[in-house]
Amino acid sequence: MRSVRLHSYNQSPSIDLVPEPEISHPFDVLVRIGGAGLCRTDIHIVEGQWREKSGVALPYTLGHENAGWVAAVGSAVEHFSVGDPVIVHPLATCGFCLACRAGNDMHCMSSAFPGIDSDGGFAEVLRTNARALVKLEGGLSPADVAALADAGLTAYHAVRKASPLLPPGSSAVVIGAGGLGHIAIQVLAAVTEAEIIVVDRSEAALDMASSFGAHYQVLADGSEVASVMDLTGGKGVQVVLDFVAEGGAERRGPAMLQRAGSYFVVGYGGTVELATIDIISSELNVVGNLVGSYTDLVELMALAARGSVKLHTAKYPLDAFAQAFEDLQAGRVRGRAILVP
Amino acid sequence: MRSVRLHSYNQSPSIDLVPEPEISHPFDVLVRIGGAGLCRTDIHIVEGQWREKSGVALPYTLGHENAGWVAAVGSAVEHFSVGDPVIVHPLATCGFCLACRAGNDMHCMSSAFPGIDSDGGFAEVLRTNARALVKLEGGLSPADVAALADAGLTAYHAVRKASPLLPPGSSAVVIGAGGLGHIAIQVLAAVTEAEIIVVDRSEAALDMASSFGAHYQVLADGSEVASVMDLTGGKGVQVVLDFVAEGGAERRGPAMLQRAGSYFVVGYGGTVELATIDIISSELNVVGNLVGSYTDLVELMALAARGSVKLHTAKYPLDAFAQAFEDLQAGRVRGRAILVP
Amino acid sequence: MRSVRLHSYNQSPSIDLVPEPEISHPFDVLVRIGGAGLCRTDIHIVEGQWREKSGVALPYTLGHENAGWVAAVGSAVEHFSVGDPVIVHPLATCGFCLACRAGNDMHCMSSAFPGIDSDGGFAEVLRTNARALVKLEGGLSPADVAALADAGLTAYHAVRKASPLLPPGSSAVVIGAGGLGHIAIQVLAAVTEAEIIVVDRSEAALDMASSFGAHYQVLADGSEVASVMDLTGGKGVQVVLDFVAEGGAERRGPAMLQRAGSYFVVGYGGTVELATIDIISSELNVVGNLVGSYTDLVELMALAARGSVKLHTAKYPLDAFAQAFEDLQAGRVRGRAILVP
Amino acid sequence: MRSVRLHSYNQSPSIDLVPEPEISHPFDVLVRIGGAGLCRTDIHIVEGQWREKSGVALPYTLGHENAGWVAAVGSAVEHFSVGDPVIVHPLATCGFCLACRAGNDMHCMSSAFPGIDSDGGFAEVLRTNARALVKLEGGLSPADVAALADAGLTAYHAVRKASPLLPPGSSAVVIGAGGLGHIAIQVLAAVTEAEIIVVDRSEAALDMASSFGAHYQVLADGSEVASVMDLTGGKGVQVVLDFVAEGGAERRGPAMLQRAGSYFVVGYGGTVELATIDIISSELNVVGNLVGSYTDLVELMALAARGSVKLHTAKYPLDAFAQAFEDLQAGRVRGRAILVP
Query: Residue D336 — very low, low, confident or very high, per pLDDT cuts 50/70/90?
Result: confident
Residue C302 resides in a domain:
no
Tell me which chain D residues have a C-beta less than 8 angstroms from the C-beta of C246.
276
Question: What is the rounded distance in angstroms from the CA atom of residue D307 to the CA atom of residue D304?
Answer: 5
Please tell me the distance in Å from C312's CA to the nearest CA on chain D: 26
- Same domain for C279 and C265, yes or no, is yes
- Contact (CB, 8 A) for D271 and C272: no
Pairs of residues, one from chain B and one from chain C, whose beta carbons lie less than 8 Å apart:
48
pLDDT at B3: 97
Residues of chain A in Cβ contact (below 8 Å) with chain B: 99, 104, 106-107, 245-246, 250, 259-260, 265-277, 279-290
Question: What is the rounded distance in angstroms from the CA atom of residue B166 to the CA atom of residue B248?
Answer: 25
For chain D, first and last CA: distance in Å?
A: 10
Beta strands in chain B (DSSP E): 2-6, 14-17, 28-38, 60-61, 66-73, 85-88, 125-129, 133-135, 171-175, 195-200, 216-219, 237-242, 257-265, 271-275, 285-288, 313-317, 336-340
Question: What is the rounded distance in angstroms from the CA atom of residue B245 to the CA atom of residue B248?
Answer: 7
Residue C186 resides in a domain:
yes
pLDDT at C52: 87
What is the average pLDDT value for chain D, to the nearest integer?
A: 96
Query: Among B26, B79, B295, whose Cβ lies nearest the Cβ of C96?
Result: B79
What is the average pLDDT value for chain A, to the nearest integer?
A: 96
Q: Return the minimum-mean-pLDDT range out of A22-31, A288-297, C291-300, C330-339.
A: C330-339
pLDDT at A334: 76
Closest chain D residue to C169 measured between Cα atoms?
A: D98
Positions of chain B with pLDDT under 50: none
- Contact (CB, 8 A) for A192 and A220: no
pLDDT at D334: 76
Closest chain D residue to A74 measured between Cα atoms?
A: D26
Residue C297 resides in a domain:
no
Q: How far is CA B154 from CA B245, B284, B293, C276, in A?
A: 14, 23, 9, 43
Rounded to 10 deg, the angle between the C203-211 and C181-191 helix axes is 30
Query: Residue C334 — very low, low, confident or very high, per pLDDT cuts 50/70/90?
Result: confident
Tell me which chain D residues have a C-beta less than 8 angstroms from the C-beta of B298.
169
In this prediction, residues A185-206 reach a mean pLDDT of 96
Residue C39's SS3 state is: coil
Q: How do strand C257-265 and strand D257-265 relate by DSSP bridges?
A: unpaired
**C335, pLDDT greater than 80:** no
Backbone angles phi, psi at B315, to 5 degrees: -95, 140
Q: How far is CA A72 from CA A23, A25, A139, in A?
A: 8, 12, 22
pLDDT at D84: 97
Tell me which chain B residues have a C-beta less than 8 angstroms from the C-beta of A245.
276, 280
Query: Among C76, C79, C131, whose Cβ lies nearest the Cβ of B76?
Result: C76
- Contact (CB, 8 A) for C194 and C300: no
Query: Residue A138 — very low, low, confident or very high, per pLDDT cuts 50/70/90?
Result: confident
- Same domain for C244 and C283, yes or no, is yes
**A62, pLDDT greater than 80:** yes
Query: Residue C114 — very low, low, confident or very high, per pLDDT cuts 50/70/90?
Result: very high
- Contact (CB, 8 A) for A4 and A62: yes
Question: What is the rounded distance in angstroms from the CA atom of residue B203 to the CA atom of residue B210?
Answer: 11
Number of domains composing chain B = 2
Can you give the residue range of the structural domain that contains A178?
Answer: 153-288
Query: Residue C300 — very low, low, confident or very high, per pLDDT cuts 50/70/90?
Result: very high
Cβ-Cβ contacts under 8 Å for D303 (sequence gap 6 or more): B168, B193, D156, D186, D187, D190, D309
Cβ distance C302 to A169 less than 8 Å, yes or no, reads yes
DSSP code per residue over A47-74 = TTTTHHHH-PPSSEE---SEEEEEEEE-
Question: What is the rounded distance in angstroms from the CA atom of residue C321 to the CA atom of residue C324?
Answer: 5
Name residue C319's beta-bridge partners.
Answer: none
CA-based max dimension of chain A: 62
Cβ distance D293 to A101 less than 8 Å, yes or no, reads yes
pLDDT at A292: 98
- Same domain for C172 and C273, yes or no, is yes
Question: What is the rounded distance in angstroms from the CA atom of residue D197 to the CA atom of residue D219?
Answer: 10
Q: Is the dihedral of CA A285, A290, A292, A293 positive or negative?
A: negative
Cβ distance A279 to B270 less than 8 Å, yes or no, reads no
DSSP secondary structure code for residue D291 in this structure: S
- For C261-287, how does the pLDDT look when each residue is reduced to its tens digit (9 = 90+)? 999 999 999 999 999 999 999 999 999
Instruction: Give CA angle at A163 (A161, A164), nearest 5°.
Output: 95
For the entire predicted model, the pTM comes to 0.97
- Same domain for D140 and D220, yes or no, is no
Tell me which chain C residues have a C-beta less than 8 angstroms from the C-beta of D289.
280, 283
Cβ distance D283 to C250 less than 8 Å, yes or no, reads no
Number of H-type helices and E-type strands within chain D: 12, 17
- Same domain for A234 and A316, yes or no, is no
pLDDT at B138: 85
Question: What is the rounded distance in angstroms from the CA atom of residue A170 to the CA atom of residue A197?
Answer: 11
- For D65-99, how does the pLDDT look when each residue is reduced to its tens digit (9 = 90+)? 999 999 999 999 998 999 999 999 999 999 999 99
Pairs of residues, one from chain B and one from chain D, whose beta carbons lie less than 8 Å apart:
45
- For C314-333, how does the pLDDT look when each residue is reduced to its tens digit (9 = 90+)? 999 999 999 999 999 988 88
**Neighbouring C-alpha atoms within 13 Å toward the C-beta of D271:** 7
pLDDT at C127: 98
pLDDT at D53: 83
Cβ distance C191 to A190 less than 8 Å, yes or no, reads no
- Same domain for C81 and C212, yes or no, is no
This complex has an ipTM of 0.96
Q: Please tell me the total number of residues recorded for chain D in this structure.
A: 341
Cβ distance B76 to C25 less than 8 Å, yes or no, reads yes
pLDDT at B249: 96
- For B210-243, how does the pLDDT look when each residue is reduced to its tens digit (9 = 90+)? 999 999 999 999 999 999 999 999 999 999 999 9
pLDDT at A178: 86
Residue A300 resides in a domain:
no
pLDDT at B284: 98
Please tell me the distance in Å from D32's CA to the nearest CA on chain B: 26
- Same domain for A41 and A139, yes or no, is yes
Tell me which chain B residues have a C-beta less than 8 angstroms from the C-beta of D299.
167-169
- Same domain for C142 and C275, yes or no, is no
Cis peptide before C254 (omega within 30 of 0): no
- For D254-311, how does the pLDDT look when each residue is reduced to its tens digit (9 = 90+)? 999 999 999 999 999 999 999 999 999 999 999 999 999 999 999 999 999 999 999 8
Closest chain A residue to C300 measured between Cα atoms?
A: A168
Cβ distance B168 to D193 less than 8 Å, yes or no, reads no
- Same domain for A42 and A136, yes or no, is yes
- For B122-152, how does the pLDDT look when each residue is reduced to its tens digit (9 = 90+)? 999 999 999 999 999 989 999 999 999 999 9
pLDDT at C307: 94
pLDDT at B99: 97
CATH code where residue B32 lies = 3.90.180.10
Question: What is the rounded distance in angstroms from the CA atom of residue B261 to the CA atom of residue B280?
Answer: 11
**Neighbouring C-alpha atoms within 13 Å toward the C-beta of D107:** 19
pLDDT at B90: 97
Residue C72 resides in a domain:
yes
- Same domain for B39 and B157, yes or no, is no
Cβ distance B300 to D168 less than 8 Å, yes or no, reads yes
Cβ distance D299 to B167 less than 8 Å, yes or no, reads yes
Query: Residue C179 — very low, low, confident or very high, per pLDDT cuts 50/70/90?
Result: confident
CATH code where residue B273 lies = 3.40.50.720
- Same domain for D206 and D233, yes or no, is yes
DSSP code per residue over B92-141 = B--S-SHHHHTT-GGG-TT-B-BTTTB--SSBSEEEEEGGGEEE--TT--
Residue A59 resides in a domain:
yes
Q: How do strand B66-73 and strand B171-175 relate by DSSP bridges?
A: unpaired
> Minimal CA–CA distance to A28: which of C137, D225, D26?
D26
- Same domain for D7 and D131, yes or no, is yes
Please tell me the distance in Å from B288's CA to the nearest CA on chain C: 21
Question: What is the rounded distance in angstroms from the CA atom of residue A166 to the CA atom of residue B280?
Answer: 22
DSSP secondary structure code for residue D335 in this structure: S
- For D96-135, how does the pLDDT look when each residue is reduced to its tens digit (9 = 90+)? 999 999 999 999 999 999 999 999 999 999 999 999 999 9
Q: How far is CA B228 from CA B161, B175, B257, in A?
A: 22, 11, 9
Residue type at position C224: E
Q: What share of chain D is helix, strand, coil (3-state, %, to 5)?
A: 30, 30, 40
Query: Among D79, D98, D295, whose Cβ lies nearest the Cβ of A96?
Result: D79
Residue B297 resides in a domain:
no
Tell which of B79, B81, B86, B96 to mutate to test the C interface (max C CBs under 10 Å): B96
Query: Among B272, B276, B289, whose Cβ lies nearest the Cβ of A265?
Result: B276
pLDDT at C166: 98
pLDDT at B229: 98
Residue C283 resides in a domain:
yes
What is the average pLDDT value for chain C, to the nearest integer?
A: 96
pLDDT at D236: 98
